[in-house]
Amino acid sequence: MYQTLKYLQVPSSNSKPANTEDQNGPLTVTMPDLNGKTVPEAKKITEEQGLNVTFLGEGDKVQKQLPDPGVQVQPSQRIYAALSPIDNIAVPDLKGLSFREAAEIASFLNVKVIPKGEGFVVSQSLEGEGTTRILKLKLQPLTQVKQ
C-alpha cells in the first residue's frame, strides 16, 4: 500500500504542508515563531512571509503570539503579538470584527466573552481586571451594521 501511495505521489500524513501558492501569490504560509523576537525582528520576519502583525501591550520582545508558530495561515489573516504579560494588556477596539475574530482575540488575552446578538461587534464593555476580565459584546448582522 505504501509503495502505491508513494508512486501516486500522495503526501505522507506525517509531512508538514509546504507554503502553497497560486498565480496571485501565497494561499497559505507557515506561521513563523515570533516568541522572544524584538519588534523590528518580528516585523521583518512577518513582512518576509507577506503577513501583517499587530502588536499588543508595551515591551521590547514578543512574549506570546496568535496564531501559534507552525500553523498554516492565509496572508490576510490577523496576526497578534503580545509584548507584555497577557493579563496586563488592554482589550483593543473590536468594533466591526466578526464574533469569531473578537472571541479569538479575547481568548488570546485571557478575557471571558459574553455575546449579545449575532454577527459583528457594534459595541463592547469590559468589566474586571487582571485574570477576571469579562468582555460584553453587542453583535448585529452585517446588514444592520452598515446602515
Residue ranges of the chain assigned to CATH 3.30.10.20: 16-84
CATH topology of domain 16-84: Trypsin Inhibitor V; Chain A (3.30.10)
What's the CATH code, domain 86-147? 3.30.10
Mean predicted confidence (pLDDT) in 126-133: 89
Helices vs. strands in the chain: H and E counts, helices first: 4, 9
Mean predicted confidence (pLDDT) in 34-45: 97
pLDDT in tens, 54-109: 999 999 999 999 999 999 999 989 899 999 999 889 999 999 999 999 999 999 99
Q: Which three cell numbers stand for residue 14?
A: 506525517
What is the pLDDT at residue 43? 97
pTM score, whole prediction = 0.73
